[in-house]
Every structure is written in C-alpha cells, then in structure tokens.
Amino acid sequence: MSLKCFLTALAATSSAFFAIPVMAEDRLKCGEASYFASEYTCHNDKTLCPTVFGLPTKPCGGSGSGGCYPPQQYSCSEEDGILRDLPEASSPFTLSVWGVRKAYQNQKIKACGGYLAFGANARQCHLCTAAGGKNCASFKNETVFLPDGRMNAAVPGGQYWYVHPSEGLLQYTAALDPPKNTSTSSWNVTAAEIPRKEFAGVNVKVHENGFFVWDKEGSSSHWWFACLVTLPGGVISTGRSWRLYAPLTPDLKDCDLVRVVATAVDKSNGVYKYS
C-alpha cells in the first residue's frame, strides 16, 4: 500500500487560490472488490475483514463465510469454523489502548501517582529501595498487571489495580510505608489494611492476550472511555494525558471510546514499587 499526498487547489476568493494538501489513499483490490488498507484487511484475495478501532479482524471458517471476528475476543477453530471465547488471563500482562484516533493506537498504559494513564505525557513511576533486600536491577520497570487484581510489584503488602466503584476511574492502590520502628516488628503485611484493596480486579474480565473488559453483572462492555486530563501541577494544554474510565458515568467530557487489550509478559518485567 502506498499513501500519496497531492495538492488540491480550491478557489477561495475571486482572485486568490490556496493550495490545500490532502492525504489520499490508494484503493487496493481484493478479488473483485476494492478497499482501503486503513479500513480492511484482505484474506486469500477473497475475504475483506474490517479494522475496528485500529484492530484488524480475521475471517473464521475456510470460506470466510463465518464472518470476521476480533482475535482479542475469540479463537476460531478452522475445522468447524466455530468461534470460542478466549480463556481468561492467567499470565501477567501489560495493557494497551486502541482506538480510531492515531493517538490511541497501541498506547501502553502506565502507572503513576495512583492513576493509570496513557499518552506521550503519561509517566511510568516506579521506585526501588533496598527495603526487602531487593536487587533493583532485577526489575524491568514496566507497568505490569496480574489477573487477580494485583499490580506486579514486589513491595511487601502488594499493590492492586481496581476500578473506582462510583467514578469508574481505573486506578491502583498505594504501597504501604514500612513501619517506623524497624527494630521491633517484622513487617506484618498480612494484617495490613490497604485502602480500596477490596475493589481489586472487581467487575473486570481479562482475556489471555485479549480484551480487558468491564464486566459488571448485566452490563458487559468492550468499551472504556479515554478522557484527556491535565496532570496535577500541569498547565492546561501542556502535560496532558488520558485516563481510563469504565462506562459507568455517561456525562464524561473530553472523552473517546477506546478498547483495552492485555498482552502477556514475563513477570520479571514488573517493578519493586509503583510510586
């Protein structure tokens, strides 16, 4: 596929012409049909499958008669052309955002200051201290999630991802501080009260190498809202990033629908502590 830029001349006033650049995309052939590669994928020169939210779909069944499916949701049995739900995730995973806008295509979700966000200004905030005898160099410092609602952090007591039950915002819990009096206690993390730990992973279903889905009883949804926010201390129009909301609150502003996809990664990609 090639993209061609050419100029379209538009008559503006009686005497002046302005040249406006227009991006044009070549039409490709799939059997007898023509299509744009930005919108469809051609399989075996006969089946066109649409790209949905930046994610190509695939045909199921040898003839393609079974229609097209998102491989982040189903697996297809080539023998009988039957779609089956992907299993629930059992591996540690990273999360990426996909959407119609270029800014939403394969954007990694990062953890910073209790929020999970994406975009050029979203930061990955991690910290490693010698507490717990950890070798900091053994962490790859990616934002890695575990299917049971934990963040992949090694800090005693752990950290947890959750959807705020009333606001719908995707967040994670803070790490506990070590006890002040280290001469006495071992750090009793089992007894620790971590605020909002009780919401960890609640109402979210994660497919192995597939969609990260809001799955509250009676309202399952592939959609999340990506909402542009100014980061704390930032000036409007600078330092903005997108936060993610479950489709709970319909009156969100500056938001777009996106999909969130989990990708299985090695557990060693995580961090000691998300700060």
Tokens 């109402």 -> residue: 203
142 vs 256, beta carbon nearer ligand NAG: 142
140 vs 196, beta carbon nearer ligand NAG: 140
Does the footprint of ligand NAG cover residue 135 (CB under 6 A)? no
Question: How many Cβ atoms from other residues are within 10 Å of residue 133's Cβ?
Answer: 5
CA–CA dist 225, 221 (Å, integer) = 11
Stretch in the footprint of ligand NAG (CB under 6 A) among 13-21, 90-98, 108-116, 137-145: 137-145
Stretch in the footprint of ligand NAG (CB under 6 A) among 53-61, 121-129, 147-155, 226-234: 121-129
Does the footprint of ligand NAG cover residue 137 (CB under 6 A)? yes
What residues from 184 to 243 belong to the interface with ligand NAG (CB under 6 A)? 184, 186, 188, 190-191
CA–CA dist 126, 171 (Å, integer) = 15
**Nearest-approach distance from CB 269 to ligand NAG, in angstroms:** 9
**Nearest-approach distance from CB 180 to ligand NAG, in angstroms:** 7
Does the footprint of ligand NAG cover residue 110 (CB under 6 A)? no
**Nearest-approach distance from CB 136 to ligand NAG, in angstroms:** 3
Report helix, strand or coil for 138.
Answer: helix
Report helix, strand or coil for 75.
Answer: strand
Does the footprint of ligand NAG cover residue 13 (CB under 6 A)? no
Q: Which residues contact 239 (CB under 8 A, 6 or more apart)?
A: 121, 230, 231, 233
Does the footprint of ligand NAG cover residue 134 (CB under 6 A)? no
**Nearest-approach distance from CB 162 to ligand NAG, in angstroms:** 22
Stretch in the footprint of ligand NAG (CB under 6 A) among 31-39, 125-133, 244-252, 258-266: 125-133
CA–CA dist 188, 157 (Å, integer) = 8
CA–CA dist 64, 68 (Å, integer) = 7
188 vs 219, beta carbon nearer ligand NAG: 188
Is 160 within 8 Å of 151 (Cβ atoms)?
A: yes
What residues from 141 to 180 belong to the interface with ligand NAG (CB under 6 A)? 141
What sign does the CA torsion over 147, 148, 151, 155 have?
negative
Report helix, strand or coil for 254.
Answer: coil
Is 186 within 8 Å of 65 (Cβ atoms)?
A: no
Residues near ligand NAG, by CB under 6 A: 126-128, 136-137, 139-141, 181, 183-184, 186, 188, 190-191
